Amino acid sequence: MFFQQIINGLTLGAVYALIALGYTMVYGILQLINFAHGEVYMLGAYLGIIILGFLTSIGFTAISLPLAIIITLVLSMIFCSAYGMTIEKIAYKPLRNAPRLSPLISAIGVSIFLQNFVMLSQGATDRVFPPILKAEGLTFLNARITYLQIFILIASVLMMVGLHLFIMKTKLGKAMRATAQDRKMASLLGIDIDQVISITFIIGSGLAAAAGVMVAMYYGLVNYFIGYVAGIKAFTAAVLGGIGSIPGAMLGGIILGLMEALGASYISSEYKDAFAFGLLIIILILKPEGLLGRQVGDRS
């Protein structure tokens, strides 16, 4: 039972971590809470169902299921990156110098718009993932880990390692770090700020899309309002780890996933969502810089 919950918690945590990365990267660079990020994750989950459904209908999944899943994941990430970039250009870029209230409100607007767009185009009822994944798995220590869970864990770890390498080793990654430290100075040194911000949104949205596709496969169904709660939880994870800090977001996601899985099975499953909110409030009040974040003057 305990190990089972640990495995479930890690799977959930990996997904939260992927979404949290998007929040933390955007916050690091723009000091903006991208409220619409949860909706990008929701769009990703829907795209997963749509694309895999299409691949099944042309008979591709029968040839090679793993390949079909990878194609779905990649296509969904590409589309969501486009959404992320478009959202930034429409709703945030014109407000870059406005008081903080304005982009927050336009982000809420984006969120409402996207939810209703999906509801109108895809229907208000739950959408079911094509039942092509069997719940096979391995058993050890009295706990079962399905191949899907293994896939989710490996894929998330790969993506996080890839992101870490991108940020630490490449020129663009260096530009991103410089912009996060001091936007004005970075632009004086010849860094194209607009480009860096676009790339941040593209990467963040891509990771959220991957999380969405994997959650859709894991739970088997999606609806148009999953983005809100997932967004809040991922934001909690980002804050827990220290907003602006990339390793922090990963750590925060894992901790939150474990806490939720254990809390739901040992304390109360009705208040499952309340754990995240409660945790969020407590961290923000007691330790707003999070576990791995830096103390920055004006944030708290």
Partner 1 sequence: MIKKFIRILLLSLWFGAITFPFTGIRNAILLSISIMASLILWNTLSKGIIKREGIEIVSKRIQTFSSKIPRRILALFFIFLFLILPLFMNNYFIDITNLTGIYIILALGLNVVVGLAGLLNLGFVAFYAIGAYSYAILSTQANFSFWASLPIVILLVGISGILLGFPALRLKGDYLAIVTLGFGEMTRLVLNNWDSVTKGPNGILNIAPPEVGSIVFREPIHYYYLILIFVILTTFAIKRINNSKIGRAWVAIREDEVAAEAMGIDTVRMKLLSFSFGAIWAGLGGVLFAAKMRFVSPESFTFFESVIILCMVILGGLGSIAGVILGTMILVLLPEALRGFEHYRMLALGAGLILMMVFKPEGILGGPRKRAELRPDDERIYMQEIETIKK
Compare residues 169 and 184 and give the one whose CB is closer to partner 1.
Answer: 184
Structure-block tokens of residue 223: 């609806």
Compare residues 121 and 139 and give the one whose CB is closer to partner 1.
Answer: 121
Distance (Å, rounded) from C-alpha 160 to C-alpha 86?
Answer: 24
Scan residues 73-92 and list those touching partner 1 (CB under 8 A): 79, 82-83, 86, 90-91
Tell me if 26 contacts partner 1 by CB under 8 A. no
* Distance linking the first and last C-alpha atoms of the chain: 39
Scan residues 33-52 and list those touching partner 1 (CB under 8 A): 33, 46-47, 50-51
- Non-local (6+) Cβ contacts of 176 within 8 A are 25, 29, 167, 196, 199, 200
Residue 135's CB: how many other CB atoms inside 10 A?
10
Among 284, 287, 291, 292, binds partner 1 (CB under 8 A): 284
Tell me if 16 contacts partner 1 by CB under 8 A. no
Distance (Å, rounded) from C-alpha 127 to C-alpha 222?
Answer: 5
Binding residue count for partner 1, defined by CB under 8 A = 58
Compare residues 7 and 73 and give the one whose CB is closer to partner 1.
Answer: 73
Structure-block tokens of residue 83: 């959404």
Q: Which residues pair with 146 in a beta bridge?
A: 137
Tell me if 32 contacts partner 1 by CB under 8 A. yes
Label residue 143 exposed, middle or buried (CB < 10 Å: 0-12, 13-18, 19+): middle
Residue 285's CB: how many other CB atoms inside 10 A?
9
Question: In angstroms, what is the minimal distance from the CB of 88 to partner 1?
Answer: 12
Which range touches partner 1 (CB under 8 A), out of 96-104, 154-162, 176-184, 208-216?
96-104
Question: In angstroms, what is the minimal distance from the CB of 239 to partner 1?
Answer: 8
Structure-block tokens of residue 84: 């992320």
- Asked if 239 and 283 touch (Cβ cutoff 8 Å), the reply is yes
Compare residues 114 and 214 and give the one whose CB is closer to partner 1.
Answer: 114
Among 97, 169, 171, 190, binds partner 1 (CB under 8 A): 97
Taking alpha carbons only, the member of 71, 37, 38, 41 closest to residue 54 is: 71
Q: What residue ranges bind partner 1 (CB under 8 A)?
A: 31-33, 46-47, 50-51, 79, 82-83, 86, 90-91, 94-95, 97-106, 108-122, 228, 232, 235, 239, 270-271, 273-274, 277-278, 280-281, 284-285, 288, 298-300
